[in-house]
Amino acid sequence: MTVFRLPDLGEGLTEAEVIEWKVAVGDVVAVDQAVVEVETAKAAVEVPSPVAGTVTKLYAEAGAVVEVGAPLLAVGGDDGQDAEARRQERYREEERAGSGNVLVGYGTGTARRSRRRAAAPAPAEAPAPVEAPRVISPVVRRLAGDNGIDVGAITPSGPGGIVLRKDVEAAIAAASRPLPEPQDETGEVRVPLRGVRRAMADKLSRSRREIPDATTWVDVDATALLRFRERIGRADPDAGVGTLALLARVCVAGLRRFPELNAYVDTERQEIVQVPRIHLGFAAQTERGLVVPVVRDAQRMTLAELAAALRERTDEARDGRTAPENLTGGTFTLNNYGVYGVDGSTPIINHPEAAMLGVGRITERPWAHKGKVRLRKVAQLSLTFDHRVCDGGAAGGFLRFVADCVERPEVLVTHM
């Protein structure tokens, strides 16, 4: 028997919360098969098994916090064919007995190796045929049962038609069911600070403690930028260049002109360190909280490449599968809070970076244009910067350059 322990996930992480088991006791696993999803202070990751065999024990339940090096599961070295034969026999016995312990869509053959038996019986009122969506996790199945959700009516988003936890949660939200009453008499709702939320809380608190930040802002006419985006879309529809990609490209060009802002303070050596490579972070709101995915070496990318990288990082963040290394190491952050319908903000710098550019919503406003007052697409840009790293001259110069690029995209073209 082999005891598999939580491996070192890098980035100085010491613990992880078990989100969802991908296997159950008695399941046959292969080398590199994902066996558990855990959430660290950086991201949610799937942990693969280093050995093949039959799962004999799970050492932690979903929701438990496990330290690096602590046991996760035990795998016995059974012959795979013998174990599969025993599994088939168990399945036939349960099916004959009507135990209700068989997963929705749990059939026969090799496809069954990636499925698992639920911890709770299926709802008697919703028996599902084998062609129904599959529920691998007993946590997901229990969540659906507790909330009266028919998994057979859910459109699965997981690979191979698997119903994921987020699918059930979306169905619960759509059903508009009231939240359960608080457990105590105070009416308080307590949300544990764990995983990504705790990491972000720690980083923001440290930023406020250590960085003497200042903010400067300017209103800009973004009409020409939006028209520029439309022209690019007509010329190359497959490029997928949106407003975020254009603003990201503007930031890269601005940081080349003002490298003082692509920097950090080494407090131990009392030095300002200017970084030659631009690792561009951008704020993304996800179900697990605010995260800042990072596009590395943005200075080497074309506009189309940068747009593709931003889409990839956004999809990863929304799906909760961002690798830990893609959530650290940023040198500058772009924060498009305009997507929330707000005009301005004074965001907290993403420690240990030196600055963050914020972009408010783009909306029609009266604007002086060519000697007349017209309705134009206007937005507010704000730059929050570390006053230890640069003074108002460099910060204002960077922000004015960004504003000029937004108002006159031809300036941006010369820097692509």
Residues catalogued as catalytic: 387
* Distance, CA of 144 to CA of 114 (rounded, Å): 20
How far is it, in rounded angstroms, from Cα 268 to Cα 355? 20
Q: Cα angle vertex 16, ends 10, 22, to 5°?
A: 105
Q: Pick from 358, 346, 166, 351: which is nearest to 264 by CA?
A: 351
End-to-end CA distance of the chain: 58
User: Side-chain half-sphere of 286: how many Cα atoms within 13 Å?
Assistant: 26
Q: How many CB atoms lie within 10 A of CB 208?
A: 12
Contact (Cβ atoms closer than 8 angstroms) between residue 317 and residue 182: no
Tokens of 292: 């800042």
What gap in Å lies between CA 363 and CA 223, rounded to an integer? 10
Q: Are 36 and 54 within 8 A, CB to CB?
A: no
Please give the backbone phi and psi of residue 114, each rounded to the nearest 5 degrees, phi first. Answer: -90, 5
**Alpha-carbon gap, residue 239 to 113, rounded angstroms:** 40
CA angle 408, 414, 416 (to 5 degrees): 105
Contact 195, 41 (CB under 8 A): yes
- What is the phi/psi pair of residue 414, to 5°? -70, -15
